[in-house]
């Protein structure tokens, strides 16, 4: 089996043309016709993840975030990005990223996995792309099976998303039933969550002043960037395993979250 065979399966779910213009998804390191010995799925490609891939006999890393986001002008090991790329090349490990194209699909997308984890039903795309199929777009909105008191809902997030901290706006004294979600940095979708009539918006990377934008109309729950997307590696493995159920597929055991809590 070749690298391109794995990529074909992934891109059937999340075609590259669905990535945002600023993104750098795709095969970043490696040759598509190289034979695959094993696949390691991760959120972020780091030096430790490359080492783990080598130790597990995997010569393909499938990551959510692109290790190279902007052009590299030199490879002298000054930054972790340069060191990771050099280490991957030295060990003949290919690195593939499937980022905003996976964010923008409905079925088997990043937000569908979050919705699954927090038990949402009757889901739909929060902000459909114009002139495209309404199963394509940013974020997702759905319903809890039954309304939850606000504090219970926040604890539900903390438990089901395995996060140590949920930063949130003031409680509004009403049950939570309709919930919008966006993996990663989703503050740009707050107006859409409000328009959708969501009681809560679950995302990450909200800045201080952006919490004011809730204006007492919705609960913003910031669960952390890594925490909101950490189950993406399960999703990617599931997609590939559907087609290649006997192949060597591994979820990373390396915690790449750069944020720690005291």
pLDDT for 131 equals 64
Is the distance from CB of 189 to CB of 139 less than 8 angstroms? yes
3-state SS, residue 9 = helix
The first and second tokens of residue 132, run together, are 């495209």
Q: Is the dihedral of CA 199, 160, 168, 138 positive or negative?
A: negative
To 10 degrees, the CA torsion angle through 143, 113, 152, 172? -60
Is the distance from CB of 170 to CB of 216 less than 8 angstroms? yes
107 CB-contact burial (10 Å; exposed 0-12 / middle 13-18 / buried 19+): exposed
Residues of the chain with pLDDT below 70 are: 131-134
3-state SS, residue 160 = helix
The first and second tokens of residue 73, run together, are 């002008």
Please give the Cα distance from 136 to 148 (Å, whole number): 29
| Residue at token pair 């192949």 | 247
The first and second tokens of residue 145, run together, are 């099976």
90 phi and psi angles, rounded to 5 deg: -60, -35
Quick: pLDDT tens for 63-99: 999 999 887 888 888 999 999 999 999 999 999 999 9
Taking residue 8's Cβ as centre, other Cβ atoms within 10 Å add up to: 12
User: Which helix (H) or strand (E) segment is 176 a member of?
Assistant: strand 176-185
Please give the Cα distance from 100 to 166 (Å, whole number): 24
25 phi and psi angles, rounded to 5 deg: -70, 160
Please give the Cα distance from 11 to 17 (Å, whole number): 10
pLDDT for 73 equals 83
Quick: pLDDT tens for 222-259: 999 999 999 999 999 999 999 998 889 999 999 999 99
Q: Could you give all domains of the chain from N- to C-terminal order, each with its CATH number?
A: 3-102 (3.40.1390.30), 104-226 (3.40.1390.30)
pLDDT for 134 equals 63
The first and second tokens of residue 45, run together, are 């490609």
């Amino acid at each position: 089996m070749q690298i391109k065979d794995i990529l074909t399966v992934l891109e059937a779910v999340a075609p590259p043309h669905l990535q945002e213009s600023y993104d750098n998804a795709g095969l970043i390191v490696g040759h598509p016709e190289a034979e695959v010995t094993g696949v390691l799925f991760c959120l972020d490609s780091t030096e430790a993840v490359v080492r783990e891939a080598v130790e597990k006999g995997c010569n393909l890393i499938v990551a959510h975030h692109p290790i190279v986001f902007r052009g590299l002008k030199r490879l002298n090991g000054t930054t972790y990005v340069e060191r990771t790329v050099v280490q991957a090349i030295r060990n003949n490990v290919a690195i593939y990223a499937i980022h905003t194209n996976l964010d923008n699909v409905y079925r088997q997308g990043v937000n569908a996995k979050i919705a699954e984890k927090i038990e949402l039903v009757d889901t739909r795309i929060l902000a459909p792309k114009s002139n495209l199929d309404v199963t394509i777009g940013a974020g997702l909105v759905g319903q809890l099976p039954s309304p939850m008191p606000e504090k219970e809902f926040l604890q539900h997030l903390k438990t089901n998303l395995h996060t140590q901290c949920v930063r949130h706006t003031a409680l509004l004294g009403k049950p939570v039933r309709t919930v919008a979600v966006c993996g990663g940095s989703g503050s740009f979708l707050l107006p859409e969550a409000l328009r959708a009539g969501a009681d809560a918006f679950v995302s990450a990377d909200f800045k201080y002043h952006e919490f004011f934008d809730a204006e007492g109309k919705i609960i913003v729950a910031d669960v952390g960037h890594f925490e909101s997307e950490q189950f993406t590696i399960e999703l990617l493995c599931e997609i590939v395993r559907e087609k290649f159920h006997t192949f060597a597929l591994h979820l990373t055991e390396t915690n790449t979250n750069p944020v720690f809590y005291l």
